[in-house]
Amino acid sequence: MRPVRRPDVQRRRSKGSAVDWLRVGGHWSVWRLAVLLLVLLFSFPFLVMLTSAFKNAADIFHAPPQLLPRSWTLHNFREAFRQIPFWRYLGNTLLICGLNVLGTLLSCPLVAYALSKIRWRGQMPMLMIVLGTMMLPPQVTLIPIYLLWNHAGATDSYLPLIVPAFLGTPFLIFMLRQFLMSVPDELIEAARIDGSSELRTYWSIVLPLARPALATAAVFQFVWTWTDFLNPLIYLNDTSKYTLSIGFYNFFSENGVEWGPLMAACVLFTLPALIVFLLGQRYFVEGIATSGLK
């Protein structure tokens, strides 16, 4: 007699093949193939950057272009560390990113809690003001904010790059507010009846429930600060205070661009943001999926 295979075993085996993944159910296979093609399309520039970091100059400008190098080399990474003080720029960038994430997690949840779970006169007009600031392009407020920091004598320092995060980010306030709207009011009312203060309720009940949204806000703020180019370019003059995004200018010279070391530096620049996203991916996806659901 032929052994009878259990359906769960067959199901597990069918999930293991990428080809079977594309063959599942008629029109679904077309959609999955389309998604796979889009993933390859959007990841192609990253693959070009990654492979170019291991190419020599002849392979980079080889015609016709080739994705994989003919001879792999680590020379570009050595040149990247030689041409710029990479570790100093990395430390400066991590310092600014860490303080920005800290400021965001201190300020944005507090404002979001006040706009979602505390009833007070002027709550909705204040929410409209917060949303209205999101409609202003950053170019509109660039000069006034620079004049403000210049009159305060804070240019060529990290203060203009760090302090705004402690004052709240409108988009993250709105995102956290939408998430907190899904927290049951009964929990907060029960805490108030038991004599809990607003700060204790916020710290012991609201923040633990908002962990996915907080992780999402932290990932957003880290990536925004890590990739910020304009603000460090405007406010920083001392080269020892440069961030990595500004330091990459050293690869541009009057004789041209050194593409090999630049691609190697870009790979190293991408890794921390990628690691942060992978570590917070579960909370990030959960926070995005549940924001705005009540």
Pair 269, 140 in one domain: yes
Of 20, 53, 79, at which residue does a domain stop?
79
Mean pLDDT on 152-173: 93
In whole angstroms, what is the distance from residue 200 CA to residue 112 CA?
16
Q: Looking at per-residue confidence, does 102 or 3 come out higher?
A: 102
Pair 162, 257 in one domain: yes
For 101, the domain range is: 85-290
At residue 223, does pLDDT exceed 70?
A: yes
Pair 128, 65 in one domain: no
pTM exceeds cut of 0.75: yes
Pair 141, 60 in one domain: no
Pair 107, 48 in one domain: no
- CB 48, CB 67: distance < 8 Å: yes
User: Model confidence over 24-81: pLDDT tens digits?
Assistant: 554 557 788 888 889 889 889 889 899 999 988 888 888 788 888 888 889 899 988 8
Answer yes or no: is 155 within a domain: yes
Of the CA atoms within 13 Å of residue 81, those in its CB half-sphere come to 6
Pair 92, 131 in one domain: yes
Q: What is the domain count for the chain?
A: 2
Which pairs from 73-80 meet CB under 8 Å and 24+ separation? 75/260, 76/260, 76/261, 76/263, 76/264, 77/53, 77/261, 77/264, 77/268, 79/258, 79/260, 79/261, 79/264, 80/261, 80/262, 80/264, 80/265, 80/268
User: Model confidence over 235-256: pLDDT tens digits?
Assistant: 999 989 999 989 888 777 655 6
Of 79, 106, 123, at which residue does a domain stop?
79
Alpha helical stretches, state H, 53-122: 57-60, 75-83, 86-116
Pair 72, 187 in one domain: no
The interaxial angle of helices 281-290 and 259-279, nearest 10 deg, is 70
Residue 42 phi, psi (nearest 5): -75, -25
